[in-house]
Structure 1
Amino acid sequence: MSQERTPHILNAASNLLGISLVIIAGLNVSHAARNSIADEIAWFAAISLATSCFLSYLALRDDTTRRGHGEKWADRIFLMGLLALISAIVVLAIESR
């Protein structure tokens, strides 16, 4: 993977982590968390995106050949978090009808 990909993963994952936390907070403030599975899906997304942030940060700090390995995992976990976040939004949209 290129050296330029890791900062982009870190930036995107941290932004999406914020969105996940806003969804979680909004569901808890509105007391809709206990009636919806979207809260649990958003928590999974938040944990995945936080892990991706951590791994991509470590890849930025690493100057050895192991960098690519951490970056690959950060990318994979980022995609899991992104899919979970999309799933949480779809569940919220369906349940709010």
Structure 2
Amino acid sequence: MARDNFPHILTASSTLLGLCFVVLTSLKISNSSEASLIDEFTAGAIVMFMVSSMLSYLSMRSGRFAPKPQYERIADIVFLAGLTFLFVTTMLIAFNVIK
């Protein structure tokens, strides 16, 4: 049962992917040695959002030749994992666990 969520997943994951790139680039430009764990977590979120974007795109382009619900379901799960990963990273930064 496909709900055709792939346009929403594609839009949100590509936006968050861009945000993660901005964060990672700003950490590299600032040359902060304290940001070691932050940039690793951000790189992990980049991978998750990129996979989610690609699977959403494949779901949109697959049509009748591939199992569309399977692509969409996996993209949804990976997107939620990326959101969770980004949330945990943000909370660690906010509460000064990662310095």
Same fold (TM over 0.5): yes
CA-atom RMSD in angstroms: 1.4
Task: Assess if the C-alpha contact under 8 Å between 1:38 and 1:91 holds in 2.
Answer: no
1:6–1:59 Cα contact (<8 Å) kept = yes
Q: Tell me if structure 2 keeps the 8 A contact 1:17–1:49.
A: yes
Superposition deviation, residue 77 in structure 1: 0.5
**Are the equivalent residues in 2 in contact too, given 1:21–1:46 (CA < 8 A)?**
yes
8 Å contact 1:24–1:42 — kept in the other structure? Answer: yes
1:48 aligns with: 48
In the alignment of these two chains, the number of paired residues is 94
- Using structure 2 for the length normalisation, give the TM-score: 0.86
Query: 71-80 or 23-32: which moved more?
Result: 23-32
**C-alpha distance in structure 2 between counterparts of 1:16 and 1:62, whole Å:** 24
The answer (yes or no) to whether the contact 1:41–1:87 under 8 Å persists in 2 is no
1:67 match: 68
What letter matches 2:78 in structure 1?
A: I
List alignment gaps of at least 5 residues for structure 2.
Answer: none
TM value normalised by structure 1 = 0.88
How far apart are 1:53 and its partner, in Å?
0.2
Cα distance between partner residues in 1 of 2:92 and 2:30: 16
Question: 1:82: which partner in 2?
Answer: 83
Code of the residue aligned with 2:68 in structure 1: it is R
Residue pairs, 1:18-57, within 5 angstroms? 18-32=18-32, 34-36=33-35, 37-57=37-57
- The aligned counterpart of 2:92 is 91
Percent identity reads 32
